Structure 1
């Protein structure tokens, strides 16, 4: 069987955690391939990454590295079809919530981490909302199988996009892979991290998240200002993709009078992220909407106590291994102080976190993905859900 994995639409550095997930999944798939073959369609800059070294050396893997941007325009659909047809695929996986053109002449497995735009449209510009609605729902309607990462996301897909249960597969992600942890811990140099201002010379709370509106940095910053006023010594370290909201967030930091205690680092190297998890007094995760919440698992793997929001996807992933806070600055400040001031509670959260993180296994994740790909390839491409034209407000495929 020939399995396609199409990530041409993934521009490195543009989609945050999903990019990390795709690379980690690909790095684990070769152990599950058996006699099957994998054809990876990706941008050249995506392929050149240490995570994919073993994948690229595998003789069962063919990489078609192309830059799709020169082909954008009226001929783009034909170009994509030629790319796929030339390698005679039995099934193709699209891990980024949509595929194009639609329909395709082979069975499609589509990953949809979440459909946040259906529940919080206010977090998107009109242009972003139109882009998502024109692509995601029609793709879901024409996919042969849909993979998502939590029961919460599966409920959302059934509720808003009418995906039947037998076509919907919940496959939780993992955190760091075992080889990642071993190598990155070895590479971590706290002294160098302090000299380059990655690691503060003080205890700190960590929040690794892009600055998208649903990540709810504002509530955390207001809560942290209350911690400072209460005399707590901690700093706040923020990592992740930074967009045009940086100016807005830094203005809030200045108004709150906490600029000397907040470190906005942007994207950091993975070894630095591992070190930050290992060194942090706690992880704060105030996100209002998550399909999974990968930093929760990563923090628990690294022995970092977790304080998290009560968003449904967050609570599902964290299980009983987090201290949960209501979506309010005062509630967040109180919960953080409770954890930071209580060593016994920290130790209990770390113990629970280690047990919970062990439930998210990359070997199981890769094995389940291969099962879905193989079963989908064995069926005719019959489509999932309802026709895109029948969905209210959605343009037909």
Structure 2
């Protein structure tokens, strides 16, 4: 079986969850893969094992650099599609439908990591919802990364239930990047990672920290990894909550630095209102860091009993649960132990095996996909 992947995620991201997902598929593939990329500064492709690309001014802040990379990569992907030497096409993003007119009758598999633009349209006014519908109608199979995202897809897109299947992400303690210098972290801190904007609900964490009893909050700091410098609004909230002098932002950080931040944190707090999967949960489990999550979207599905939970809009409940976690040493050890057990259910080897089953099912389709598809054969069961 030959699977063609296009350039999109590896053009847009130098590092990040979506390109990392596709790189892990390439690493664990038990099928022939082609990655149509001509230029990329993506961290995961630096060994060039899966593409013959070149980097393009990776250390130069050149305006318009991204447009140059996109131009050459788009051409490379179009050429690969026209050659037709593949059995399945799997685009790395669904932000563009350029491939629909080039596929002819070849199977199309897409991965939908979340339905955030459809669920929070006020934040994504530039997104074309009709484009995603066109792609979804054409897809032979749709992979979602959680049951929660699958339910959203079936509710929001015109697709048949038989077309949509869940393949969870995996976890591996890879060190993709150079370690970098040790970060000047405080002795006692809770950790927040990634973007803090929009539905990420960072303000709930700050308001919750302000509600901690003084004895619990004494000497405690909050460390943010990635997500950019604190905005003016965040600085004002930090001042109002009294945490301005105890909040630290580092980023971007290497994978080695991020692992160290997880290992040394008293807790990892993820108050987001919505995630498609929540890969940082597995990252925290892997570094034996206790986890506190909002009880929202896919979080209970992924973490199950290996985390504490709070209502995403109740800072007082976040504070209560965080106090439990910080003050109860046996509870912390139980959460760490359960997190280690939970990781056994998430390996990239399993992700690759289930993904191959999706590809095989897609190649069995002889009808054009769409709502009028009479019967979609089920994905064969796997013995894991």
Normalised-by-shorter TM-score class: 0.7 to 0.9
Matched, 1:82 2:79: yes
Alpha-carbon distance change, 312 to 355 in structure 1, aligned in 2, over 3 angstroms: same
In 1, Cα distance between the equivalents of 2:38 and 2:236? Answer: 36
Q: Give the deviation of 1:161 after TM superposition.
A: 0.6
Distance 1:79 1:28, change over 3 A: closer
Deviations 1:178-232 (A, max 9, x none): 4x16x98xx869xx52xx42xx232111111212311110111111222374552
Which of 318, 342, 358 is equivalent to 2:344?
Answer: 358
Tell me how far apart the structure 1 counterparts of residues 365 and 52 of structure 2 sit (CA, whole Å): 26
* Secondary structure in structure 2 of the residue aligned to 1:207: strand
> Structure 2: 5+ residue runs without aligned partners?
57-65, 374-384
Distance 1:14 1:159, change over 3 A: farther
Go from structure 1 to structure 2 and tell me whether the alpha carbon gap of 1:77 and 1:46 turns closer, same or farther (over 3 Å shift): closer
Label 1:21 to 1:78 Cα distance change in 2 as closer, same or farther (>3 A).
Answer: closer
SS in 1 for 2:224: strand
Shift of 1:125: 4.3
Within-5 A mapping of 1:47-62: 49=43, 53=47, 56-57=48-49
CA distance in 2, matches of 1:88, 1:251: 56
Q: Deviations over 1:165-184 (max 9, x none)?
A: 22112000012x14x16x98
In structure 1, what is the Cα distance between the partners aligned to 2:369 and 2:272? Answer: 33
Instruction: State the 1:20 CA deviation.
Output: 2.7
CA distance in 2, matches of 1:121, 1:14: 26
Map Cα deviations across residues 341-370 of structure 1 (whole Å, 9 max, x no partner): 110110111111111111101101011112
Q: 1:291-321 deviations in whole A, cap 9, x for unaligned?
A: 1100111111211111100003111111111
Query: Equivalents in 1 of 2:2, 2:41: separation in Å?
Result: 21
* TM-score, normalised with respect to structure 1: 0.81
Query: What residue number does 2:240 align with?
Result: 255
User: Is residue 218 of structure 2 the alignment partner of residue 219 of structure 1?
Assistant: no
Q: Is 1:369–2:368 an aligned residue pair?
A: no
SS of 2:211's partner is: helix
Equivalent of residue 40 in structure 2, options 40, 45, 56: 45
In structure 2, the residue matched to 1:173 is 169
The CA RMSD over aligned residues, in Å, is 3.1
State the TM-score, normalizing by the size of structure 2.
Answer: 0.83
| Residue 118 to residue 337, structure 1, CA distance change in 2 (3 Å) | same
- How big is the shift at 1:12? 4.5
The answer for the alignment partner of 2:110 in structure 1 is 110
Distance 2:367 2:214 in 1: 60
Look up the SS of the partner of 2:306 in the other structure: coil
Tell me if the contact between 2:25 and 2:348 (Cα under 8 Å) persists in the aligned partners.
yes
Structure 2 counterpart SS, 1:172: coil
SS of structure 1 residue aligned to 2:21: helix
Higher helix share: 1
Q: In the aligned structure 2, how far is the partner of 1:66 from the partner of 1:134?
A: 34
Superposed CA offset, 1:99-153 (max 9, x none): 422243222111101112222323x1422xxx24143222112111111111111
Task: Tell me which residue corresponds to 2:381.
Answer: none
TM-aligned CA distance change 1:135 to 1:15, over 3 Å: farther
Residue pair 1:208, 1:238 contacting (<8 A) in 2 also = yes
Residues of 2 paired with 1:385 and 1:234: CA distance?
55
- Name the count of aligned residue pairs: 359
- Evaluate the alpha carbon distance shift between residue 25 and residue 71 of structure 1 in structure 2; reply closer, same or farther with a 3 A threshold: closer
CA contact (8 A) 2:7 2:77 kept: no
* Aligned residue in 2 for 1:156: 152
Give yes or no for the alignment of 1:126 onto 2:122.
no
Alignment-derived partner of residue 392 in structure 1: none
Greater shift in the superposed pair: 343-352 or 132-141: 132-141
1:326 maps to what in 2? 311
Measure the CA separation in 1 of the matches of 2:268 and 2:296: 16
Partner of 1:88, secondary structure, is coil
Aligned partners of 1:72 and 1:25: how far apart in 2? 22
**1:265 offset after TM fit, Å?**
1.4
Q: In 2, distance between residues paired with 1:3 and 1:14?
A: 23
- Distance across 2 between alignment mates of 1:65 and 1:204: 40
Partner Cα separation in structure 1 for residue 152 and residue 329 of structure 2: 38
